[in-house]
Chains A and B, each alone.
Chain A
Amino acid sequence: MLDALFEGLLLILHWKAFAFMLLGVGLGFWVGLLPGLGGGTTLALMLPFTYTMSPAEAFAFLLGMHSVVATTGDITSVLFGVPGEGTTAATVLDGYAMAKKGEAGRALGAALMSSLVGAVVGALALALAIPVVRPLVLTFGSPELFMLAMVGIAFIVSLSGEGRGGLRRGFLAGGLGLLCAMVGQDPQAGILRYSLGLLYLWDGLDIVPVLVGIFAIPEIIDLAVRGTAIAGDVSYGRLGKGVTEGIKDTFRHFGLTIRCSLIGTFIGIMPGLGGGVAQWLAYGHATQSARDANERKGFGQGDVRGVLGPGAANNSKEGGALIPTVAFGVPGSSSMAILLGGFFLLGLVPGPDMLTKHLPLTLSMVWTIVLANIITVGASLVFINQLAKLTTIRAHLLIPFIVLLVFIGSYTANNSYGDLVAMLVFGALGYAMVAAGWPRAPFILGLVLGKLAENYLYISTTRYGAAWLGRPVVVVLFLLAVLVIAYPFVQARRSRRRAGARCAS
């Protein structure tokens, strides 16, 4: 194992592979920054260039590109409130809120550093998990995946506002998200649901225009109304200092960063959950780290932990997502499906062999993810202060640029005008929700998990009847979901008792 680890490192450190990785990193950097231009499309475009490369070089190039997309996607999310990638939307909530408080530098520092920690932890966990990864993945059948989706949906409790009214709003928003997930042709009877007679809605709502609309539009309106810069009237000087602060934050909340990295790795390993899920679970978990009600209210208003969690999970999941692709030939996302095409081109058959005979190559992929992230974060830190200054540009100069990003970002999802309409409709919904004080995260959670939950529930019951409810992992996950739901209440009681004790003394 150690030999293979070392051999894998040598494969990637070979000058040619390394050069290709740098090239990939350079490309991925921009792809991540620009909203809508997704990692998947770029991979498909770049695949032909790998024909003449050796496997180690080709994967260094492709993965180098792919693994930094989530890292730089966070930058756009923080600076403009526009999700740079579908998988970096959760960073918007607290990252952009921090930018508005004039803490863009700190938020960026935190996002980048947690991304790096996430990538390293993900790769490490992956290398350690290789011997057990096949049984681990095979343990998670449809019933287990259904329960896992339920655990995710349970996080609505932590993502909702305080009190009974807050919870009611959270659940309603989550329910609306679930409902929106039902749009399109259903996979059991082939019936069109809520498609309004529009061809655009046959395949369901595309997540990217919805995310861009619901998060970016309210912020644009807010910015236009305020008329100041994103960071208000904060002076240049204060902005730059934040970066080191953000890096320190990562280590101040190191436990949280590690835990969110592990969540990301785990979700990544599970095929069929998709990349969008990890960030929200991590965000949900980050909100649990609030010690009392007041602190919880701070989430969404610019709590750095809300940046660290999704930042870490985003990058750690990339390592995890490699596993089903490499070990089973079963890609977990469209990017991975394209990468799988690369395997065939290079004459490799994904499967158990990749964990034994070709282990060094597999590990060289793990190394690529780590190195690519170190390089990206290092490079970003150099000019991040300049980037943070973008938040001091006055609104009327910045808004046209952001609007352009928003429109292009949505349109590239399907190259359809429907994308723009969807973005505007959900932008209006997002604005209404913000104005009325409704939480948006539960809605997204419902939207992201709704289809998975429905399909896995259907498969579980047709395949196993009611027997699946008794499967041990299902029971464990069920208890975990109960725990997630109960946690805020337990926490509230504890803090009340603490407050009571303080009064008494």
Chain B
Amino acid sequence: MRQAGRRWTLATLAIPAVVVLAVVPAARAAQPYDGKTITIIVGYKPGGGYDRTARLLARHLPKHIPGKPTIIVQNMPGANSIVAANHVYNLARPDGLTIGTFNRNLPLAQLTRVEGVRFDITKFAWIGSAASESTILTLHSDLPYKTLDDLRKAEKPIVIGTTGPGANTHDFPLLLKELLGFNFKIVSGYSSSADIMLAVERKEVDGRAGSYTSLRPFIDRGLVRPVVRARATEPGIEKLPVDEDLATAPRAKAIMALRSGPEIVGRPYVMPPGTPDALVKIVREAFVRVARDPELVDEATRAKMEIEYVSDVEALKIIREVLGQPRDVVDEFSKYIKFGD
């Protein structure tokens, strides 16, 4: 963005010239994105789900924005994308040329007052979410456990491999263990969810949790089978039992809801606070249309990705719900869950 910033200073210097030249074809200025470049800042390195979604959108969004701007993706990894969010909130110009996408759990970082957070998530100019991510728990297909009661009463603890606190591979099974009494042994420290998958295959661990998108190939292959899911759902897993429904204590329900809330806003997309409404509206409408674009849908299907637009209104509603939890719930939540990747 620094580059764009320099371009803008140059542009300011060139204003007199442009004004003279632009007097006649003033009608063209009606398209604010004509000949412009929009940058999507991704809070992670290339290769992950956030990055792949952003690159997919960057390819298909331009044709839905009047003026057909160029859209490029810039990776700004760091601190589980707090760095990117801070940048978009504090440094990026609200000129409609910056879009940010980051960790869906940032509302939890704000809620639990994580050090380094320099933003109020509700004050971004929200575009919405490009997809919701459903977390499920899967177990090795060879294991005998049939019902959820079997999981509670398992004689030997069921070993669940995770990448570490803050990740859905970790937090979801942790709450199942702590709040629902599933007999789990959580083993954390795998370097990626793919590594856990391999550990499942060699029977070092019995199962793993994660997003349905990333687990689907292994379910299709018959290596693992899904057992429980969180609130957000996708076609194919609607019938799985939901963790919140299994809890009886209201406190437990609230804590689980707090963890899974952000998943409905699975791929958050925002613009810097103060971006003119007219511009945000153009981009929002483009998101609505791009999610139904047959070319994008075809590509997403082939890449085993799900694009489903969640509106800014709905996204903000869920986030306010998360942020509005009473202190005692938050405190207990923080006992189990640490903000992380």
Give residues in A with beta carbon < 8 Å to B.
40-41, 43-45, 47-48, 51, 137-139, 141-142, 185-190, 197, 199-200, 202-203, 271-272, 324, 328-331, 334, 337-338, 341, 344-347, 349-351, 414-416, 418, 451-452, 454-456, 458-459, 462-463
The answer to whether A48 touches B204 (Cβ under 8 A) is: no
**Interface stretch among B61-69, B144-152, B158-166, B310-318?**
B158-166
Tell me the complex Cα distance, A111–B211, Å. Answer: 43
Known contacts A41-B46, A142-B199; can you find 8 more A-B pairs with CB under 8 A?
A45-B46, A189-B165, A190-B340, A272-B198, A324-B198, A330-B194, A330-B198, A414-B45
Interface flag for B75 (CB, 8 Å): yes
List of B residues within 8 angstroms of A40 by Cβ: 45-47
Tell me the complex Cα distance, A271–B194, Å. Answer: 9
**Interface stretch among B79-87, B134-142, B259-267, B286-294?**
B79-87
Interface flag for B59 (CB, 8 Å): yes
User: Which among A331, A338, A345, A346 is the interface contact of B46 at CB below 8 angstroms?
Assistant: A338
List of B residues within 8 angstroms of A329 by Cβ: 194, 197, 217-218, 221
The answer to whether B59 touches A345 (Cβ under 8 A) is: no
The answer to whether A48 touches B77 (Cβ under 8 A) is: no
What residue of chain A has the Cβ atom nearest to residue B218's Cβ?
A329
Tell me the complex Cα distance, A53–B338, Å. Answer: 44
Tell me the complex Cα distance, A139–B59, Å. Answer: 42
User: Which among A142, A187, A416 is the interface contact of B78 at CB below 8 angstroms?
Assistant: A416
List of B residues within 8 angstroms of A330 by Cβ: 194-195, 197-198
Instruction: Take A202-B80, A463-B159 as given contacts and tell me if A349 and B220 are in contact as well, using a CB distance cutoff of 8 Å.
Output: yes
The answer to whether A338 touches B204 (Cβ under 8 A) is: no
The answer to whether A344 touches B195 (Cβ under 8 A) is: no
- B175 CB to closest chain A CB (Å) equals 15
The answer to whether A345 touches B302 (Cβ under 8 A) is: yes
Interface flag for B244 (CB, 8 Å): no
- B90 CB to closest chain A CB (Å) equals 13
- B305 CB to closest chain A CB (Å) equals 9
What residue of chain B has the Cβ atom nearest to residue A139's Cβ?
B202
Interface flag for B177 (CB, 8 Å): no
The answer to whether B302 touches A44 (Cβ under 8 A) is: no
The answer to whether A463 touches B45 (Cβ under 8 A) is: no
The answer to whether A334 touches B45 (Cβ under 8 A) is: yes
Tell me the complex Cα distance, A349–B188, Å. Answer: 27
Tell me the complex Cα distance, A351–B217, Å. Answer: 10
B151-180 contacts to A, CB under 8 A, are 159, 161, 163-166
- B49 CB to closest chain A CB (Å) equals 10
- B64 CB to closest chain A CB (Å) equals 18
Tell me the complex Cα distance, A186–B116, Å. Answer: 17
The answer to whether A51 touches B299 (Cβ under 8 A) is: yes
List of A residues within 8 angstroms of B253 by Cβ: none
List of A residues within 8 angstroms of B159 by Cβ: 463
6 pairs, A vs B, C-beta closer than 8 Å? A137-B198, A185-B341, A187-B189, A200-B78, A329-B197, A459-B189
Tell me the complex Cα distance, A455–B163, Å. Answer: 10
Interface centre among B75, B161, B187, B220 (most CB of A within 10 A): B187
List of B residues within 8 angstroms of A203 by Cβ: 77-80
Interface flag for B8 (CB, 8 Å): no
Number of A-B contacts (CB under 8 A): 150
The answer to whether A141 touches B46 (Cβ under 8 A) is: no
What residue of chain B has the Cβ atom nearest to residue A200's Cβ?
B78
What residue of chain A has the Cβ atom nearest to residue B161's Cβ?
A459
- A413 CB to closest chain B CB (Å) equals 9
User: Which among A48, A51, A197, A454 is the interface contact of B55 at CB below 8 angstroms?
Assistant: A48
List of B residues within 8 angstroms of A414 by Cβ: 45, 76-78
Tell me the complex Cα distance, A92–B115, Å. Answer: 39
The answer to whether B46 touches A334 (Cβ under 8 A) is: yes
Tell me the complex Cα distance, A423–B11, Å. Answer: 34
What residue of chain B has the Cβ atom nearest to residue A41's Cβ?
B46
Instruction: Take A40-B46, A324-B198, A338-B46 as given contacts and tell me if A199 and B189 are in contact as well, using a CB distance cutoff of 8 Å.
Output: no
List of A residues within 8 angstroms of B77 by Cβ: 203, 414-415
Tell me the complex Cα distance, A410–B283, Å. Answer: 34
The answer to whether A199 touches B83 (Cβ under 8 A) is: yes
Minimum-distance CB pairs A-B, first 10: A190-B165, A187-B164, A190-B338, A44-B46, A455-B189, A199-B79, A202-B79, A138-B202, A330-B194, A187-B189
List of A residues within 8 angstroms of B52 by Cβ: 341
The answer to whether B78 touches A459 (Cβ under 8 A) is: no
List of B residues within 8 angstroms of A349 by Cβ: 217, 220-221
Tell me the complex Cα distance, A139–B203, Å. Answer: 10
Interface flag for B36 (CB, 8 Å): no
What residue of chain A has the Cβ atom nearest to residue B83's Cβ?
A199
Tell me the complex Cα distance, A478–B115, Å. Answer: 42
List of A residues within 8 angstroms of B190 by Cβ: 272, 455, 459
Tell me the complex Cα distance, A451–B192, Å. Answer: 13
Interface flag for B201 (CB, 8 Å): yes
List of A residues within 8 angstroms of B220 by Cβ: 349
The answer to whether A272 touches B191 (Cβ under 8 A) is: yes
List of B residues within 8 angstroms of A51 by Cβ: 299
What residue of chain A has the Cβ atom nearest to residue B198's Cβ?
A330
- B265 CB to closest chain A CB (Å) equals 22
Instruction: Take A329-B217, A416-B83, A455-B190 as given contacts and tell me if A44 and B47 are in contact as well, using a CB distance cutoff of 8 Å.
Output: yes
Tell me the complex Cα distance, A86–B199, Å. Answer: 27
The answer to whether B205 touches A44 (Cβ under 8 A) is: no
What residue of chain B has the Cβ atom nearest to residue A328's Cβ?
B198
Interface flag for B320 (CB, 8 Å): no
Tell me the complex Cα distance, A197–B82, Å. Answer: 13
List of A residues within 8 angstroms of B123 by Cβ: none
What residue of chain A has the Cβ atom nearest to residue B220's Cβ?
A349
Tell me the complex Cα distance, A44–B115, Å. Answer: 32
